[in-house]
Amino acid sequence: MKFVDEATITVEAGKGGNGCLSFRREKYIPKGGPDGGDGGDGGSVFVEADESLNTLIDYRFTRRFKAESGEAGSGRNCTGSKGEDLVLKLPVGTTVVDVDTNEVLADLTHVGQREKIAQGGWHGLGNTRFKSSVNRTPRQTTKGSEGELRQLRLELKVLADVGLLGLPNAGKSTLIRSISAARPKVADYPFTTLVPNLGVVRTEAHRSFVVADIPGIIEGAAEGAGLGIRFLKHLARNRVLLHLVDMAPWDEKTPAEAALTAVRELEKFSPTLAEQPRWLLLNKLDLLPEEEQEEACQAVIDALGWEGPLYRISALNKSGLTPLVHDLQEYLDARAEAVAEEPELLEEERRIRAIIDEEARENLRRLKAEMRARREAEDDLDDDDFDDDDYDIEVEYVR
């Protein structure tokens, strides 16, 4: 199944039923008065987080959804039945954005969360409602109102505690294979990873965290080079980023240059995301002669001006991974406890994530517009040719 992390759909809530114009007509009751009932309310449209889903592919083929309209009222003061609500099932981690206003209507962060995104129309009033002492036979009714019509953009971001950042072939997939049960494709060439992979790292019986491996970025990714920056948005919800640097690079770029490239592209994508907690992992040190390792590591540290957490590892032979995993678990547990004790920290996290989301959204809109303009100029292609979902792997949690 294809991994689709973005889709545009149109939803329409149901129309409210019209009020009824009716008078009571029975034998021996010549002036029975009005008995027109109200219409029923239109159905609303909801979205709900479903843990069994992990892609938006269903919303790439069916793009228009409409809730049921309310029935009209009828005589004998009968109210029309309410239109049935429409519930759209979405993966956990999906953000629903109004295309016209850029308003975030829903952010589905936990299983079972349900949010209303389109209000159903209100019912019309039957003529019984307009009866008064001076108007015994009202012929006035009202029509039901139209339901809300919205064009929505669905944005899926994988939910993980830790995100892996680095250039292609830095060893991100090897690392996630070494510390979890996930088995992403690993090979000795760039862009082996085409879509995000998730792995659950278990440190003890009831302690674990989730790691996200995304495709590597290259110089010029912010301008669309390589796989571009579209997958960087999946790092927006991570509490810590692990920046992997290949200390034995396959190309002519030095480790220091590679590290700076990744940081620069991250800053172009989202300055706020670049300021979030980040740990530096110097990988593949086992491929360097022992006497050269310290000098090579120091060159990267100096180039970045690095003062944060630093780990010297080899993801392939698992050297240095035990203290890394232990420290990550301790850091995440401490952060979770702090958030539980101080709700203000959670609000601050949400505020920062909202800023990152908006920065990412704006950059992706700009990049897509530029790519579409270039391609249309060259080939006069249709907009539908730019659905960037042509991949054949699905994001899965592997425990």
pLDDT band at 220 (very low <50, low <70, confident <90, very high): low
Which of 13-27, 146-160, 215-229 bottoms out in mean pLDDT, i.e. has the lowest?
Answer: 215-229
CATH 3.40.50.300, the chain: domain bounds = 162-398
CATH fold of 162-398, please?
Answer: Rossmann fold (3.40.50)
Q: How much is the mean pLDDT over the chain?
A: 84
Q: How far apart (Å, rounded) are the C-alpha atoms in residues 228 and 281? A: 23
Arithmetic mean of pLDDT, 205-210: 82
Q: Residue ranges for the binding site for GTP?
A: 166-173, 191-195, 213-216, 283-286, 314-316
Q: How far apart (Å, rounded) are the C-alpha atoms in residues 215 and 228? A: 9
Task: Look at residue 214 in the predicted model and tell me its pLDDT.
Answer: 80
- CATH annotation of 1-156: 2.70.210.12
Q: Residue ranges for the binding site for Mg(2+)?
A: 173, 193
pTM of the model: 0.71
List pLDDT tens digits, range 240-271: 999 999 998 877 788 999 899 889 888 888 89
List pLDDT tens digits, range 172-187: 888 988 888 766 555 4
Tokens of residue 286, six digits: 């086992």
**Residue 27 identity:** K
Q: Residue ranges for the binding site?
A: 166-173, 191-195, 213-216, 283-286, 314-316
Q: How far apart (Å, rounded) are the C-alpha atoms in residues 119 and 114? A: 14
Q: Which residues pair with 310 in a beta bridge?
A: 280
Task: Look at residue 66 in the predicted model and tell me its pLDDT.
Answer: 96
Arithmetic mean of pLDDT, 74-90: 94
CATH 2.70.210.12, the chain: domain bounds = 1-156
